[in-house]
Chains A and B, each alone.
Chain A
Amino acid sequence: MSSLHLRKLKSFIFLIFCLVSASIALFFLLFILYEVIKNGLQAFNIALFSEDFKPAFLGGGGLRHALVGQFLMTIVASIIGIPLGIAGGIYVAEYGKGTRTAKLLSNISDMAISVPSIIVGTFIFGLIVMPFHGFSGWAGTISLIILLLPIIIRSTEENINQVSPLLRETAYALGAPRYLVIKDVVLKSAKQGIITGVILAISRIAGETAPLLFTSANFSQLTFDMSNVIPSLTITIYDYTNLPDQVYLNLAWSGSLLVTIVILFINILARYIFTKK
């Protein structure tokens, strides 16, 4: 066999190997998606969005309370976490660049991204839930902020570092002071990447269960009171799967479908923004 044939054969074997690996991964993904859609559609109706928890003999109700609770915590966490994270990223990549504090912040953020989220939940349990004698929406929100911050800090830092040094020099060469160089040139150039990072960070916290388990706990009725226990979709799914009645199991499936759709939508949005000219 000539060396050319051998190389072609090797290339073919490698191609088959890649195709098989990709198919295995895709198979399980599609299988999960199929199960979620098939089971989720059973209770996917208006009542899902318009009703709160009801006893099983009244049909089990819907998930409105959980949707509202999760939405509330995610939104508040985003409103507080996004500006803080972006400001932190700007500090690390611009004002503090090269300093010890900046390196420390960047490294800690890297570490924090890979910390299991249940640890963040336990940490807030010890720091806020215990001393203040109670689970609360605020405790849940703070957990989410802690998860959100490092992701946004790192993605902001990385996107700012991508901005060409030449572009920065040009702005300085025109006599621009530092804050204007950052505002007009650096942030404008890095905008798409930063927004994408923010959206992906939100999608990450929107589907979290573990950090809420010991912080916001759960509740069966609609509430907007962040200083008390507050329901969330993910924990409600978790709780409902442990109930004996089939109606709750169906609701849990519908909730899963909902979370999947929302996160899929957020990711598509992020991808759209990132690739758009």
Chain B
Amino acid sequence: MTNSIIEFKNLDFSYKQNQVVFNINAIIRENQVTAFIGPSGCGKSTILRCINRIHDLYDYPVYGGEILFHGEDILKEKDLITLRTRIGMVFQKPTAFPISIYENVAYGLRMKGIKDKKILDEKVELALRNSALWDFAKDKLKQLGTELSGGQQQRLCIARALAPEPEVILFDEPTSALDPVSTAQIENFIQTIKKKVTVVIVTHSMQQAARISDRTAFFLDGELLECDTTDNIFTNPQDQRTEDYISGRF
């Protein structure tokens, strides 16, 4: 069993006065894929967005409890820029920037302070190779990232998030806007990267959680009902409500 990298301790979260997450206690293990599942509005994306403090862009977040990352509380972190270079994120919809494919992938690297053209070239190539986009894009690096198809853009976004070599990468329903072929490619890809990086993925598809995750956390109405190995959750859930959800009775 691998070490824990992120630990939620009594985590609460409110949008101003409206509390939506209640007393979450859970562990995310290093180099594993952890899936957050649950019905819409159960708070799974909200919790994911606490991990890189992306909520802080707005004026509503009120946090309670702790999220320990290597033992340090993320919620007390002042340097969010560094935090976000260590914990990357891929969003629901493809979000290529209106700049070239190369610059898209290099963006996070530049944010990390890498300026050397040679190192940038190498890392961009590696990231594009890893996300199976290199063969397609190697002659089009100057083309706008926004001109790619949806599936390619999402792979570009993953390449961009992985290029700076974060320790954790958060996926917020990364395949919800994609066709089945692109979805399969991205699922395979997530399987291959977990050797290097810890993955947390929010998904509304239980099949997806079952296919790709090592551990699964089931949320309902802002509470964590169960967090265990994916096998246990899907074959031997402890809570009746988990069983109802995964067998489609919701």
Residues of A that sit less than 8 Å from B by CB? 98, 164, 166-177, 180, 184-185, 188-189, 191
Contacts and interface: CB of A to CB of B under 8 A. Distances in A.
Interface in B101-154: 107-108, 111-112
B204 to A, nearest CB: 17
Instruction: Determine which residue in A168, A172, A173, A191 has the highest number of CB atoms from chain B within 10 A of its CB, and name it.
Output: A173
B59 interface: yes
Given A168-B57, A169-B54, A189-B98, A174 B161 contact: yes
A175 B112 contact: yes
A170 B85 contact: no
Given A169-B91, A185-B97, A188-B98, 20 more contacts: A164-B95, A168-B57, A170-B95, A171-B97, A173-B84, A173-B161, A174-B85, A174-B111, A174-B161, A174-B164, A175-B81, A175-B82, A175-B83, A175-B85, A175-B108, A175-B111, A176-B81, A177-B81, A180-B111, A184-B107
A168 B98 CA distance: 12
B88 interface: yes
A174 B57 contact: no
A166 B97 contact: no
A233 B52 CA distance: 59
Contacts of B95: 164, 166-167, 169-170
A177 B157 CA distance: 19
Nearest to B93: A166
Q: What class of interface size applies to chain B in its complex with A?
A: 20 to 34
Contacts of B54: 169, 172-173
A173 B111 CA distance: 11
B99 A188 contact: yes
A176 B98 contact: no
Contacts of A168: 57
A189 B99 CA distance: 9
B158 to A, nearest CB: 12
A87 B157 CA distance: 30
A174 B98 contact: no
B10 interface: no
A172 B57 contact: yes
A166 B107 contact: no
A169 B93 contact: no
B102 to A, nearest CB: 14
A174 B88 contact: yes
B155 interface: no
Contacts of A189: 97-98
Interface of B: 52, 54, 57, 59, 81-85, 88-89, 91-93, 95, 97-99, 107-108, 111-112, 157, 160-161, 164
A177 to B, nearest CB: 6
Contacts of A188: 97-99
B52 A173 contact: yes
B89 A173 contact: yes
Contacts of B91: 166, 169-170, 173
A94 B212 CA distance: 39
Contact of A167 (B82, B84, B85, B97): B97
Contacts of A175: 81-85, 108, 111-112, 164
Contact of B59 (A98, A177, A180): A98
The 7 closest A-B pairs by CB, nearest first: A175-B85, A173-B89, A174-B108, A170-B95, A175-B84, A175-B111, A188-B98
Contacts of A173: 52, 54, 84, 88-89, 91, 161
Nearest to A176: B111
A184 B107 CA distance: 10
Contacts of B97: 167, 170-171, 184-185, 188-189
Nearest to A98: B59
Nearest to B57: A172
Contacts of B52: 173
Nearest to A97: B59
A184 B95 CA distance: 13
Contacts of B59: 98
B87 to A, nearest CB: 9
B52 to A, nearest CB: 6
Contacts of A166: 91-93, 95
Nearest to A185: B97
Contacts of B82: 175
